[in-house]
Amino acid sequence: MPELPEVEVVRRGLHEHVAGRTVDAVEVLHPRAIRRHLAGAADFALRLTGQRLDAARRRGKYLWVDLSGGDAMLAHLGMSGQMLVQPVGAPDEKHLRVRLRFTDGGPELRFVDQRTFGGLALADLVEVDGTRLPRQVAHIARDPMDPAFDPVAAVAALRGRRTEVKRALLDQTLVSGVGNIYADEALWRARLHGLRPADKLTRAKAAELLAHATQVMYEALGEGGTSFDALYVNVNGQSGYFDRSLAVYGREDEPCRRCGTAIRREPFMNRSSYSCPRCQPRPRG
Ligand SMILES: [Zn+2]
């Protein structure tokens, strides 16, 4: 599952390669990739053809491209979705689902998705707090990389939840974009176990945790590079360029980088949580 830094890399790639270009033809090779566009593949193709793709935007892990007609093309990357820019005539990828050709005859945009959990859809834009967002994204909070992110409000929202801190951190309506990997990394940096009650954190500790989450995502983005090739590998989940820098995630039984204690893995919402038993003691009771 791509996390926020990976989605940001995709957004930058789209912005660089397709913004300002007009769609000449749309080819849907697998209807499942368009299932979120309820009017169907033919409607999707008809409405998109002739439109100019404008700015590529993101809210949390949601990604879309503004269209000249006033709506937007929303992209769900799902587990394995990739947006690729390929020269016209390049061999089709095995899991190519949607192809957009442009009037300039330049490289085409391809949506490739091995597991077909992702997809594309056209979306109306609605105004939320002075920002135009696809209707499906309207409930998603700003992420820490958003220039208009309000850290004071985010700390208050986090401490206002009577739940475990990791669950609160993953709640996309409080703060968006923090996924399982970066939540574990931020909790380790803040020396907090994810089961600690969010409403019992001091304001300073909650602020520290959010600052760590922000920092770890910026570091991941910094290592991600901005080339579309790097993104191909990364969004596919095969390379994981940030793996080398992770302190706890995926490091069960390996030594804590701070104290040397073996990292533990615990089940968490059908996934896993990784933490250091010594730096991040479980809450009592
Ligand atoms: Zn430790």
Domain ranges for the chain, please list them: 4-137, 151-275
Report CA(192)–ligand 1 centroid distance (Å). 11
pLDDT at 140 over 50: yes
Architecture of domain 4-137: Alpha-Beta Barrel (3.20)
pLDDT tens string 45-57: 999 999 999 999 9
* CATH topology assigned to domain 151-275: Helicase, Ruva Protein; domain 3 (1.10.8)
Report CA(191)–ligand 1 centroid distance (Å). 8
Question: Do 235 and 77 meet the contact criterion of CB atoms below 8 Å apart?
Answer: yes
Give catalytic residue positions: 2-3, 61, 271
pLDDT at 244 over 60: no
What average pLDDT does this structure show over 3-8? 81
Report CA(262)–ligand 1 centroid distance (Å). 8
What average pLDDT does this structure show over 13-28? 93
Could you tell me where the DSSP H helices lie in 140-239?
151-159, 165-170, 180-189, 203-224, 228-235
Report CA(280)–ligand 1 centroid distance (Å). 7
Report CA(188)–ligand 1 centroid distance (Å). 8
pLDDT at 109 over 90: yes
Left if phi > 0, otherwise alpha if psi is -120 to 50, otherwise beta: which for 40?
Answer: left
CA distance 63 to 213: 20
Residues with Cβ within 5 Å of ion ligand 1?
256, 258-259, 261, 276, 278-279
Question: Do 110 and 25 meet the contact criterion of CB atoms below 8 Å apart?
Answer: no
